[in-house]
Every structure is written in C-alpha cells, then in structure tokens.
Structure 1
Amino acid sequence: MFDRLKMAAIAAGVSAVALLAGLAYGGNADYPATLLKTGASAPDFKGIDGWLNSPPLDMKQLKGKVVLVDFWTFDCINCAHTIPHVEDWYARYRDKGLVVVGVHTPEYSFEHDAGNLKNAIKRFGIQYPIAQDNQYATWNAYGNQYWPAVYLFDQNGRLAFSHFGEGSYDETEQQIRTLLGLKDKHG
C-alpha cells in the first residue's frame, strides 16, 4: 500500500518528505504545517543557515515591495523546470518592485552542504537571493509541504497568490504584473 501511495504522491508532485510527514501525523491537526491562506501575513525567514546572492533579508524590510518566495531544492527535477521562469520574472520585474527570494529547503543530506548549493546556484544561473533553510524553520513557518512552491505577497505583506508544483507560469506572471500595477502583457 505504501508503494502505491508513494507512486501517487510522486505523480502528483508531492515530495516524499511531505508524504511521510502527512502519514506520521495521520492528518492530525497537531501537524505543525498548515498552509497559508490568501490574505495571510507573510512569515519571516526563520532559522536561515546562510544567504547567497544577498545579505540577509526580512519581510519587514521588504514591505512596499511585491515579494515572490520560491521553495525549492537543487536535486528536484520539478524545481529545475521552474527555475528559468522564476529567474525570468526576477530579471524582468526586479526594477519594477518585485523581490524574489528562493528558499532552498533540502530533501537529501547532500543538499544541506553550502558548497553543493553554491555550485547548483552557479549551474542554474540563479541571480536572485537564496536563503538556505536546512533546519526547515522557514518551511514550517509557511506551513509549506511541496517542492516547488511559490508564494506571492502584495506590497502590504499579504499572501495574494500561491502555486504548488510546475506550471501555471502565465497565471503566476499575470499575478505579479497585477500586483505591480502593470497592464496585462497580452493587452
């Protein structure tokens, strides 16, 4: 049964960690992760082991900006597929008020190594700030359960949009443009 459940989770883009966490807690309300709801305040970056491409950031200093928080890990193929889109949004909209923060939360032990993470950032060509969340403190503060996961916050630090897994790139970009007060890119 576990193998079928695991295969279904993988097919749906749910990580093994999320699957095991859900099984361990049996869907119990005591499970520490509860997904953020639209309109919720942005949790701060907690327990960060290190910052790459940026000095440390916190949500208070980002107030007034549109903030995209992207949970990823470098050995996740689904994450690798989303990185070019996130990097493109960063390049196109950073001068218009968008801040992108990649929160690297490792699934495997070798992903905890800062050297491996630095090599991956270079390999992927990532220019935006990366927070190394080895202890899952920020992951848990967000109630996140997936790789990749995008959380988009408005200028007041309220969750405006979220997406889990690959896809919905046009919808995500339109949400970014709307929050930045830009016209629809198709109109």
Structure 2
Amino acid sequence: MDRRDFLKTSLASSMVLGAPAFAADKKTSNVQYQLRGTDVYGKPLDLKEYLGRTVLVSFFTFDCTVCSHDLKLMRDFYLRNVKKKFVLLGVNIDQNKKDLDEYNDATTLAYPKDQRFPTVWRFAPGHQDNFGSLGSTPTHFVLNPKHQLMFKRDGAFLPEDWDNLWLSLP
C-alpha cells in the first residue's frame, strides 16, 4: 500500500469513526465563507460561482518569498487537479495596487492563460470577504464544496497540507 492509499484509507476510517479528518477550528468550521470582488482583468468574481468545488484561497503579497514559492506549487497543483472540481483563488494583500499590477504583468508574461488562476486585490473598492484579519503572510484557507473551512495555514503550506488538500478532492 503506497502513502496515498494509506492516507485515503485512514481518512475514510476517521470519517466512519466520527473523528475529524482535518485540523480546523471548530468555531469557524461551519461558517460559509464569502468573497466578492473584481479580478485583475476587471472581471467580477464571486466565490459563490465555485460552490460544489474544493477551493484554496491564498492571501499573498507581491514581494513575499514564501508566497512566491507557495503560489508556484499551488499553480502546479491547480493545473493537475482543475478537472477534479478544484479551484485556486489568489487574494493580493499589498497595500499598493501598483505592486499587484507588477505581479499580474509578470504572471501574464510567464504563464499561459490556462495556467493563471483568478486573483483579486483585497483593498479594491467594492471588495468583500469574511476571512477576517490574517495572522501572517501568506495565509491559506482550504474550503470544502459548501465553502466551509476544512483547514487554514498561516505561513507556508506544509507537506501534510498538500496531502489533506489532495485527499479532499472527489
């Protein structure tokens, strides 16, 4: 039995026994998260469009080395799993929109269109979300298909986070 099969079996066993499969804050696990805004291309974005899909919402800044590393790995995960009802959403938290514009220009040149994921600026007029204040940069939220918190990671995504994310997909 390889690691992935073992993890799937363990996850299924924990669900049958009623044990929590992911380490989520019980106070927020039943909250239905919301996010509305305009993406970097001017298109309206609403998290509700992605109901029924597992969503990774990543809050990042342009100049954060950890963010850049995580986003590279997340982009790869996104490409491999987009057909499994997985969505990656980026939320830029730079105070200055110019920094987001520079990031967007660089990613537009560096990645083909099918490798880009929706990104919004948290400080844009009209932006709304209920993710609250962030403890660190980056901060990642993994939401189930009902947009309830499965787990949250302050800082870099850890190896077990990738396993938990992968196991959450249908």
Aligned equivalent of 2:132, options 140, 143, 163: 143
Alpha-carbon distance, 1:122 to partner: 3.0
Cα pair distance change 1:36/1:80, threshold 3 Å? farther
Aligned equivalent of 1:122, options 93, 99, 108: 108
**Which residue number corresponds to residue 74 of structure 1?**
62
Question: Which runs of 5 or more residues in structure 1 are unaligned?
Answer: 1-34, 182-187
Where 1:41 maps in the other structure, the secondary structure is coil
CA contact (8 A) 1:36 1:142 kept: no
CA contact (8 A) 2:55 2:88 kept: yes
Where 1:151 maps in the other structure, the secondary structure is strand
Kindly provide the amino acid, as one letter, of the partner of residue 144 in structure 2: D
- Percentage of pairs with the same residue: 23
**Which residue number corresponds to residue 13 of structure 1?**
none
Kindly provide the amino acid, as one letter, of the partner of residue 44 in structure 2: P
**CA displacement 1:48-97 (0-9 Å, x = unmatched):** 3x313684332222111001100011111221121111111111111111
**Which residue number corresponds to residue 149 of structure 2?**
159
Alpha-carbon distance, 1:143 to partner: 1.3
Where 2:55 maps in the other structure, the secondary structure is strand
1:52-63 alignment, distance < 5 Å: 52=40, 55-63=43-51
**d(CA) in 1 for partners of 2:97, 2:39:** 19
Where 2:48 maps in the other structure, the secondary structure is coil
CA contact (8 A) 1:51 1:132 kept: yes
Moved more, 127-136 or 154-163: 127-136
Where 1:57 maps in the other structure, the secondary structure is strand
**Which residue number corresponds to residue 121 of structure 2?**
132
Aligned equivalent of 2:75, options 69, 79, 87: 87
Where 1:95 maps in the other structure, the secondary structure is helix
**CA displacement 1:127-153 (0-9 Å, x = unmatched):** 1111122249556x2113221111000
Where 2:44 maps in the other structure, the secondary structure is coil
**d(CA) in 2 for partners of 1:76, 1:147:** 7
**d(CA) in 1 for partners of 2:104, 2:81:** 24
Aligned equivalent of 2:163, options 174, 177, 180: 174
Cα pair distance change 1:122/1:109, threshold 3 Å? closer
Where 2:108 maps in the other structure, the secondary structure is helix
Return the structure number with greater strand share.
2
Cα pair distance change 1:172/1:118, threshold 3 Å? same
Alpha-carbon distance, 1:111 to partner: 2.0
- Report how many aligned residue pairs link the two structures: 141
TM-score (normalizing by structure 2): 0.69
Kindly provide the amino acid, as one letter, of the partner of residue 160 in structure 1: M
**Which residue number corresponds to residue 96 of structure 1?**
84
